[in-house]
Amino acid sequence: MNFILLGSGPGKPSLEKHLSAIYVELRGKRILFDCGDGTYRRLMEHSLHCNELDAIVISHYHPDHICGIFMVLQMLYLEGRTKPLRLFLPERPQAFLDTLHMFYTFEEKFPFTLDIHLVDELPTLIPEISPSPNDHLHGYEPIIRKLALTNPMQSYSFVIQGDRGNLVYTADLDSCDNLDPLLANCDTLIIDAIHPDAAKITRLEAFPIRRILLNHGISEELDNWLGENSTSRLEIALEDTIYRL
């Protein structure tokens, strides 16, 4: 299994980092996890042909993880993609389609089939990927109730099973409380390093994980800890580097 971080920055845009997107090659499958703004350009920079992607998986509906999907779909349409594309969404697929239509982008015009599924269906359709709900959106419950919205607050982490160990992508987290069960046979962990408490992240060194990549920015507390612990197995995730498991 190989993967490239096309975007590893936090939600606040910067000139140094791109927004969330991870490209994974696994047993002949090519899968994009998350699709932050500018992902279409990042795919072009890596010369990824319009027919190469097999699936796009969105962890949750924060803009820095989903907004790039509209331009990616437009790029695939204009480049004449013919291969069906599976798109896995965390919740409310009809609301996504309504947004697509609001932008005058109609899947009926695509020269390829846009096959939309919920993230929960991943183990059936791509058995190597196991989604796990996380707590990143739970803090929105008071305002969702106040406004009587239908948002189910679905956000996911993922275990991607490889021949030489698993890749775990946490996406965004509020805490690491439900992370431990995902770490069995984990070779590489890509973890949100800005939202959870630094102590919850540093304790992961106790697990037999070969590589812990700090993604999505880094908290000041964790940055200070790294400065004091130069032999740590925690390392900053690098964009445009081919990581191999």
pLDDT of residue 159: 98
66 assigned to some structural domain? yes
Kindly report the CATH number assigned to the domain that includes residue 192: 3.60.15.10
87 assigned to some structural domain? yes
Q: How far apart are CA 18 and CA 174, in angstroms?
A: 21
Name the packing angle between helices 93-102 and 69-78 (round to 10°).
60
245 assigned to some structural domain? no
91 assigned to some structural domain? yes
Contact residues for 2 (Cβ-Cβ < 8 A; gap 6+): 24, 25, 242, 243, 244, 245
DSSP assignments along 28-50, one per residue: TEEEEE---TTHHHHHHHTT--T
145 assigned to some structural domain? yes
Q: How far apart are CA 49 and CA 46, in angstroms?
A: 9
pLDDT of residue 181: 93
157 assigned to some structural domain? yes
153 assigned to some structural domain? yes
**CA end-to-end span of the chain:** 5
Contact residues for 180 (Cβ-Cβ < 8 A; gap 6+): none
Answer yes or no: are the C-beta atoms of 233 and 211 closer than 8 Å. yes
Residue of 62, 67, 10 whose CA lies nearest to 41? 67
> Distance between alpha carbon 211 and the CA centroid of its chain, in Å?
18
244 assigned to some structural domain? no
Answer yes or no: are the C-beta atoms of 157 and 175 closer than 8 Å. no
For 40, the domain range is 2-239
Domain count, the chain: 1
- pLDDT tens for each residue of the chain, 245 residues long: 999 999 999 988 888 899 999 999 999 999 999 999 999 999 999 998 878 999 999 999 999 999 999 999 999 999 999 999 999 999 999 999 999 999 999 999 999 999 999 999 999 999 999 999 999 999 999 999 999 999 999 999 999 999 999 999 999 999 888 899 999 999 999 999 999 999 999 999 999 999 999 999 999 999 999 999 877 889 999 999 999 99
